[in-house]
Amino acid sequence: MTDTVVIVGAGLAAATAVTELRESGFDGPLHVLGDEQHLPYERPPLSKGYLLDNDELATVFVHDAAWYADHDVDLRQGTTVTALDPAAHVVRWDGGEQSYDKLLLTTGASPRRLPEADRSGAPVSYLRTIEDSSRLKQSFAEGRSVVVVGGGWIGLEVASAARDAGVEVTVLESQTLPLLGVLGPEVARIFADLHRAHEVDLRTGVRIAAVEQDGPRALVRLEGGATVSGDLLVVGVGVEPRVSLARAAGLATDNGILVDEHLVSSDPDVLAAGDVANAFHPVLGRRVRVEHWDTAIGQGRAAALSLLGNGTTYDRLPYFFTDQYDLGMEYVGSVGPDGYDEVVLRGSRTSSFTAFWLLDGRVLAGMHANDWDAIDHIRALVGRQVGAETLRDEGRTLEQIAGLS
C-alpha cells in the first residue's frame, strides 16, 4: 500500500497507529497533524506519576523526535486543522492543506467546562494537557488547599496526589457516592471510605450554586447556603468528544464519531480511534466509547491494520486502571445500559480484593484492587456464565474458577 495517510490528532492513538503502520511495512506518505506543541504523549502520567512528581516529563512521550524523522513521519505540531473535505479528500488548516487517500481521526476529547467557575475570576484549573498537570503540580504545597469539583477518576486521582503532597482537599460530588455511575454503590463506597481515611473532606449529594473570587482564592457556594474555599479550584466533571470537524464534514456522529467494528466511519475512507470513536463492539453487541489509555493503544493499532486493508476487528474488552494512595486497581469489561443485578466481592475491602458485576449469572465486568496476579483470570471470566455462588467460593482460586469448562 502506497496511499497517502493523514492522521488528524497527535495523541497516543495517533502515535500507536503510525508505529503499527511502519512496523507492518507501510512505506507510503504519512502525515500527522496535532494542535499541541508537544510530541505525542500518554495522558495517564498527568494524573498519576508525573503529577505525583515520581516520573520525569520525558517518560510521557511515546517516541522521541528522532523516531518520527527516522520513520519518515511528517509530524506537524501546533497545527490546528480547521476543515475536512471528504469529497475532495483534503484536510485544511490556516495557511495549508493536505490531500489524503485514507484519513484517521484521533481528535480526542476536551474537558467539560464549568461556566460559572470560568467566569468568576477565581483560580480554576482543569487536567487534560501537560501544561495543566505542570500547573497543578506547582500549586501543590504543604498547607495549601484545593477544592475538587467532580468525584470521577480524574477528580479522585487529583485528590490523592494533592493529599500525598500535604494539601488540604475538599471533593464536591453531585451524586451520593463518587464513581457511582461506573462502579455502583457496593464498590464506590470503598473509594469513598478510602479518601475519607486519608482526610479528604468528601461531600456528596451537593450542587454548586456559584463560584466567586475571594482575593487570590476560590469560593464555592453550594445550594443550601454552605460555602467552601480553596487556594485552587480543580474541575473534573468529564470530557466531551471533539467531533466538530467530523460533524461539519458530514460524518455520522453521536457521542463521538460513529464507527463500525473495523473503526470505519460513515465515509469508507475515514476512520476514527481513541476517545473520539463511538465504536460498535462485536463482543458487547453495542456501541461503546471508551476514554482510557488501553483503548487508545488498541484502537490505534486496529485502525492502522484496517487502513492496510486486512479487515481487522476491534473486539478487545474495555480496560482501565487507577492508582490512588496505596490502592492500585484494574477493571475489565462494561456493565452497559441494562445494568447489573449482583456484585460479588472477594477478599478484604481494606487491602486486597476482587469484584465482579453480574447480570443473570453472566459476568459483565470485573476488577481487582492490589491483587496484581488476578487481572488475566478476571479477563478470562468476563463474558462467561459463571454464577455468583461460584465466584463467592473463596475456597477456589480465581485461576481455578477461570479454568472451569
**What is the per-residue pLDDT across 339-372, written as a single tens digit (0 to 9) for each?**
999 999 999 888 899 999 999 999 999 999 999 9
Query: Are the C-beta atoms of residues 328 and 372 closer than 8 Å to each other?
Result: yes
Mean confidence (pLDDT) of the chain: 95
Q: What pLDDT, on the 0 to 100 scale, is given for residue 180?
A: 96
| Average pLDDT of the residues in 97-102 | 97
pTM of the model: 0.95
List residues bridging with 221 in a β-sheet.
210, 227
209 pLDDT band (50/70/90 cuts)? very high
pLDDT surpassing 90 at residue 298: yes
Backbone angles phi, psi at 218, to 5 degrees: -110, 135
Q: Could you tell me the three cell numbers for 297?
A: 493503544
Which secondary structure element, helix H or strand E, spans residue 197, and what is its range?
helix 180-197
d(CA 88, CA 86) in angstroms, rounded, equals 5
Query: Are the C-beta atoms of residues 261 and 247 closer than 8 Å to each other?
Result: no
Query: Are the C-beta atoms of residues 91 and 97 closer than 8 Å to each other?
Result: yes
Angle between helices 293-307 and 12-23 (to 10 degrees): 40
As to burial, measured by CB atoms within 10 angstroms (0-12 exposed, 13-18 middle, 19+ buried), residue 328 is: middle
Q: How many CB atoms lie within 10 A of CB 72?
A: 11
Q: Could you tell me the three cell numbers for 58?
A: 520525558
Q: Which residues contact 242 (CB under 8 A, 6 or more apart)?
A: 9, 107, 108, 109, 110, 276
Q: What pLDDT, on the 0 to 100 scale, is given for residue 404?
A: 54
Q: Using DSSP, state whether 180 is helix, strand or coil.
A: helix
List residues bridging with 104 in a β-sheet.
7, 271
pLDDT surpassing 90 at residue 311: no
Q: Could you tell me the three cell numbers for 84?
A: 475536512
Q: What pLDDT, on the 0 to 100 scale, is given for residue 382?
A: 96
pLDDT surpassing 90 at residue 186: yes
| Average pLDDT of the residues in 83-101 | 97
Query: Are the C-beta atoms of residues 20 and 30 closer than 8 Å to each other?
Result: no
Name the one residue in this structure whose C-alpha cell is 485514507. Answer: 102
Q: What pLDDT, on the 0 to 100 scale, is given for residue 1?
A: 62
d(CA 334, CA 336) in angstroms, rounded, equals 6
Q: What pLDDT, on the 0 to 100 scale, is given for residue 405?
A: 39
Per DSSP, 128 falls in state S
pLDDT surpassing 80 at residue 74: yes
The H-assigned helical ranges of 218-335 are 244-248, 293-307
Any idea how long the chain is? 405
What is the side-by-side strand order in the sheet with 342-347?
319-324, 327-333, 362-369, 353-359, 342-347
pLDDT surpassing 60 at residue 198: yes
Question: Which carries the bigger pLDDT value, residue 405 or residue 318?
Answer: 318
Q: What pLDDT, on the 0 to 100 scale, is given for residue 302?
A: 97
Angle between helices 153-164 and 180-197 (to 10 degrees): 10
Residues above pLDDT 70, as percent of the chain: 99
170 pLDDT band (50/70/90 cuts)? very high
Q: What pLDDT, on the 0 to 100 scale, is given for residue 312?
A: 87
Identify the CA nearest to 281 among candidates 297, 300, 260.
Answer: 260
| Average pLDDT of the residues in 382-396 | 93
Q: What pLDDT, on the 0 to 100 scale, is given for residue 7?
A: 98
Q: What pLDDT, on the 0 to 100 scale, is given for residue 102?
A: 97
Q: What pLDDT, on the 0 to 100 scale, is given for residue 43?
A: 95
As to burial, measured by CB atoms within 10 angstroms (0-12 exposed, 13-18 middle, 19+ buried), residue 267 is: middle
Q: What pLDDT, on the 0 to 100 scale, is given for residue 122?
A: 95
